[in-house]
């Protein structure tokens, strides 16, 4: 083997080791981010900022918006929150935090703006939806959540 080749092989090996190290580091950091929120005692209550809660729903009372919200809800939310929004979706039992019951007084007592803000921002394990659904779709969802209230 020519000395030049040997040198090349050696540096390839180093590169590989370095690559494995980076992969391990990435896995560790993903794990620590995923579980960070469950360490250190009870979860603090989830409260929307006052200014966000005060934002008015531009689609309030708009029936076709509510229908559109139902479709979006079925696609994105039912898996965790369940068909009737009770927090009993298929994925719910595998989560460390139970999905909220959208029919409950606790959820229904909140202002439209607060629900809009929470679905926009998310809180682990619930993902944020502001990058997934546009504002109109999110207000439509608020309309639909109102129909889930216990009668
Ligand atoms: C991966 C499961 C999951 C999905 C999917 C999901 N959620 Fe959630 N959601 C949760 C969990 C868990 C909570 C409770 C979070 C907490 O209390 O910290 C929650 C809480 C909420 C809340 C706050 C309720 C309260 O108590 O104030 C709203 C509003 C909400 N979800 C709306 C939605 C909407 C709308 C969708 C679909 C676009 C959705 N969620 C999709 C898991 C999910």
Question: Does residue 114's CB lie within 6 angstroms of at least one atom of ligand 1?
Answer: no
Best probe residue, ligand 1, of 73, 77, 79 (max atoms within 8 Å of C-beta): 77
Crossing angle between the packed helical segments 135-147 and 63-76, to the nearest 10 degrees:
90
| pLDDT of the residue at 3 | 55
pLDDT tens-place string over residues 68-109: 999 999 999 999 999 999 999 999 999 999 999 999 999 999
Question: Mean pLDDT across the chain, nearest whole number?
Answer: 87
Contact 56, 112 (CB under 8 A): yes
pLDDT of 2-43, one tens digit each? Answer: 555 555 555 667 767 777 666 666 664 655 555 554 556 788
Supply the pLDDT for residue 138: 98
CATH architecture of 50-147: Orthogonal Bundle (1.10)
With a 6 Å cutoff on the Cβ, whether 126 touches ligand 1 is: yes
Greater pLDDT, 15 or 136: 136
Name every residue whose Cβ is closer than 8 Å to that of residue 81 and which is 6 or more positions away in sequence. 73, 87, 89, 92, 99, 100, 102
Tokens of 140: 């439509």
At 10 the pLDDT is: 59
Question: Is residue 48 in contact with ligand 1, taking CB distance under 6 Å?
Answer: no
Is the pTM here over 0.85, yes or no?
A: no
Q: Does the beta carbon of 142 lie inside 6 Å of ligand 1?
A: no
Asked if the model's pLDDT at residue 135 lies above 70, the reply is yes
The residue whose CA has the least distance to atom 11 of ligand 1 is 99
Nearest alpha carbon to residue 76 among 16, 12, 134: 134
| Residue 42 DSSP label | S
Check residue 59 and give left, alpha or beta (phi > 0: left; psi -120 to 50: alpha): alpha
């Amino acid at each position: 083997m020519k000395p030049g080749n040997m040198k090349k092989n050696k540096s390839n090996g180093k590169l590989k080791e370095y690559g494995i190290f980076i992969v391990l580091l990435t896995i560790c950091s993903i794990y620590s981010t995923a579980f960070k929120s469950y360490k250190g005692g009870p979860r603090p209550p989830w409260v929307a900022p006052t200014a966000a809660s005060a934002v008015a729903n531009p689609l309030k009372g708009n029936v076709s918006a509510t229908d559109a919200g139902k479709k979006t809800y079925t696609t994105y939310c039912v898996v965790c929150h369940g068909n009737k929004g009770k927090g009993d979706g298929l994925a719910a039992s595998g989560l460390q935090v139970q999905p909220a019951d959208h029919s409950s007084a606790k959820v229904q007592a909140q202002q439209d703006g607060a629900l809009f803000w929470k679905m926009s921002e998310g809180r682990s394990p619930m993902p944020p939806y502001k990058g997934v659904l546009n504002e109109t779709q999110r207000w439509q969802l608020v309309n639909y959540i109102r129909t889930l209230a216990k009668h």
